[in-house]
Amino acid sequence: MIADIRICTTVFWAIRSVKAADIAFCKATLVPAGEDQIPHVETARKLVRRFNELYAPVLPEPRILTGERLGGLDGIGKMSKSMGNAISLNASPDDVHAKLTKAKTDPARVHRTDPGHPDICPVFAYHQLFRKEYAEEIHASCSQGSIGCSDCKHLAGTAINGLLSPFRERRAYYEQRGNEVKEILVEGTRQARKVARETMHEVREAMGIRYFDL
């Protein structure tokens, strides 16, 4: 049992160290990630900080950038592909509206004219994110029962489709240009390797182990 725990702990820290290396080699200063990745970025920060203290301030200490947490369409937790309560970036306009049509709203609101409680409605949260300039108006209309859930969902879906439209266009463009995608990936790899070599030269020099210029 103790041996298993030690193995799991070793693997756990090895994975975090690999992630830290991925961040540090390119001297990343800002890492966009979800909340579940915060521990990994924090490990990278600690390792970078320790290296700089021991040797020289070669590596920048990365910060994490987390976005807004979007609730699931079912009103349970966050959006998750595995839970089937999410809108994917490649969803068609009709698919977005279809998913929102089935989205949970205020359970206490039975009739269209019933006063709603937008603060507990997942769809209102989408208005706050994607239609900020109209959020107060939607809040008031829902609270007064002057807008129905179907209309509210349709407005949210239209806003989300407007946001996703450029993604769809870019996706359609590259789906027809596989060779161009490959070239972009190869060039990106070349640039990453160049940055990695430069970083490792600085790291070895700071550690006093730069015996050869390779």
Q: Tens digits of per-residue pLDDT, 18-62?
A: 788 888 889 999 998 888 888 888 988 998 999 999 999 999 999
pLDDT recorded at residue 214: 56
Quickly count helices (H) and strands (E) in the chain. Answer: 7, 2
User: Residue 17: its pLDDT value, please?
Assistant: 66
Query: To 10 degrees, the CA torsion angle through 70, 73, 78, 79?
Result: -80
pTM above 0.85, yes or no: no
Tell me what the mean pLDDT of segment 123-140 comes to: 94
**DSSP E strands, the chain:** 30-32, 63-65
Give the pLDDT confidence of 74-127 residue by residue, as tens digits. 888 888 888 889 999 899 999 999 999 999 998 888 888 899 999 999 899 999
What is residue 78's predicted lDDT score, i.e. its pLDDT?
Answer: 83
